Chain A
Amino acid sequence: DAKTTQPPSMDCAEGRAANLPCNHSTISGNEYVYWYRQIHSQGPQYIIHGLKNNETNEMASLIITEDRKSSTLILPHATLRDTAVYYCIVRVGATDSWGKLQFGAGTQVVVTP
């Protein structure tokens, strides 16, 4: 699976949009981009995923560049409960992945009042 690069930390003001970048320059054509987050003492929580089109759900939006070498997770209105470690992962949605989500170090997001 392709590796990802994320900033180690970022701060965000409550009520503002949080834009979390992720580089995945070696991504293959059949690899999906997934975002999870992990709040302290809890398991990872799925946020969103996509292949090449931008995606939006009730939690966030995912913007994938046209060359698919990077993406941005957007939390439109950050709240204090969004403080967490955010993981960007790419993996093949095919028969050989066996759920091998390769979590990196992620980005520690701190939302401040």
Chain B
Amino acid sequence: ETGVTQTPRHLVMGMTNKKSLKCEQHLGHNAMYWYKQSAKKPLELMFVYSLEERVENNSVPSRFSPECPNSSHLFLHLHTLQPEDSALYLCASSPQVADNSPLHFGNGTRLTVT
């Protein structure tokens, strides 16, 4: 149990589908993050939220749409994805967005786009 829960753990979707990934943190943190981990590539930061406000959008295509309704929940809405978007999507949280506190990661959603 990491304190950061992601659902679903696995997702298969077609290129025309719309789906959402969910992340919930039980740590009382104010910052939440989405990362993408593709096969044989380092983790890539996608989005950063601080107290429900997006503070970083790391040149991510618009087919990925984040939503942070409160400081405990983070969503990643997906639509018209491409096969190259298949990856492990990781959510993380930290006490604040800009200090030396470590990030706490969830176990990710393994996404396959067919």
Known contacts A32-B100, A46-B102; A99/B45 CB under 8 A: yes
Chain A positions 89-103 with a Cβ under 8 Å from a chain B Cβ: 93-103
A46 is contacted by which of B55, B56, B103, B106 (Cβ under 8 Å)? B103
- Give the interface segment out of B12-20, B70-78, B90-98: B90-98
Decide if B81 is an interface residue (CB 8 Å cutoff).
no
- Give the interface segment out of A16-24, A37-45, A60-68, A69-77: A37-45
Asked whether, in the complex, the Cβ of A93 is within 8 Å of the Cβ of B48, the reply is: no
**CB-nearest residue of chain A relative to B58?**
A100
Distance (whole angstroms) from the CB of B42 to the closest CB of chain A? 4
Distance (whole angstroms) from the CB of B38 to the closest CB of chain A? 12
Residues in chain A near residue B92, CB distance under 8 A: 43, 99
Decide if B11 is an interface residue (CB 8 Å cutoff).
no
Complex-state Cα separation, A95 to B50, whole angstroms: 12
Asked whether, in the complex, the Cβ of B97 is within 8 Å of the Cβ of A43, the reply is: no
Decide if A104 is an interface residue (CB 8 Å cutoff).
yes
Decide if A105 is an interface residue (CB 8 Å cutoff).
yes
A99 is contacted by which of B2, B6, B48 (Cβ under 8 Å)? B48
User: Which residues of B are interface residues toward A (Cβ below 8 A)?
Assistant: 2, 4, 6, 31, 33, 42-43, 45, 48, 55-56, 90, 92, 94, 97-100, 102-108, 110
Can you spell out 26 A-B residue pairs with CB atoms less than 8 angstroms apart? Answer: A34-B102, A42-B108, A43-B4, A43-B90, A43-B92, A43-B106, A43-B107, A44-B43, A44-B90, A46-B102, A46-B103, A51-B100, A93-B100, A94-B98, A94-B99, A95-B98, A96-B98, A98-B45, A98-B55, A99-B31, A99-B45, A99-B48, A99-B92, A99-B94, A99-B97, A101-B45
